[in-house]
Amino acid sequence: MRQSLRFILVAAGASLALLLAGCATGKVAGGGAYHVTAYKPHDPSAVRVKVSLSQENVHVMEGDRCLMAAAISVGMPNKPTPKGNFTIYSKQEHKRSGSYGFSVQGDRIVPSTGGGGGRYVGYPMGYWCEFAPAYGFHQGFVHPTPRTHGCIRLKGEAAAKFFALVRIGTPVNIATTQPEDATIGPKVQRVDDSRTPDPDPHIMVTEAAFEKPSGPLLQ
């Protein structure tokens, strides 16, 4: 029984690496912690989000003041992150995917796209901040090269802090480059989750899949 269960988990992990490249969480999945500093805005209505696709960085700004800067994963060339001006119009702390996830069949947990038998549990996309239909910022693995299906992933506590900084109506600009690339960009701590083991499906179908910050969100 143990050998069979181990085989199922290994197979599920291998399948998830291909099918679910878009969404995995940070420390829960075995990656190291990613600590970023985020500052309280003086005027929350003045907060702006700037995404640099070429540098794979997000800058949360209040005028010329940087509230938070973090490494991100962006869309692959065949499924790019949309460019342009947007606003955050939906936030959900514990969102799960409606397209990719798991089929829970007793002790068996296997990758699923929502069809077939068993109870479907969507892949965790914690701290979801939607800026265009089906596109949002959310918690997940961050790679050194474009990796997602168009969403923007932030690692671990960076996602929770970003969630705390933005609100419904916060403007978002997504472009190939940003003015902050030359000034703030070189100071951003890089992340490479490309060799991080796939998560245990038995954890990912529970609330433990949503990684919580280890300390205060904003300074």
The rounded distance, in Å, linking the Cα atoms of 49 and 47 is 7
Classify domain 2-209 by CATH number.
Answer: 2.40.440.10
9 to 102, 146, 202: CA distances (angstroms)? 12, 27, 9
> Which position has the higher pLDDT, 177 or 24?
177
pLDDT at 151: 98
The residue ranges of every structural domain in the chain are 2-209
pLDDT at 31: 58
165 to 8, 32, 191: CA distances (angstroms)? 40, 23, 21
**Six-digit token string for 140:** 């997940």
pLDDT tens sequence across 139-155: 999 999 999 999 999 99
The rounded distance, in Å, linking the Cα atoms of 127 and 96 is 10
Q: 70 - beta bridge partners?
A: 58
pLDDT at 18: 35
Quickly state the pLDDT bin for 215 (edges 50, 70, 90). confident
Q: What is the mean pLDDT of the chain?
A: 87
Q: Is residue 11 predicted with pLDDT exceeding 50? A: no
pLDDT tens sequence across 40-64: 999 999 999 999 999 999 999 999 9
pLDDT at 27: 53
pLDDT at 116: 66
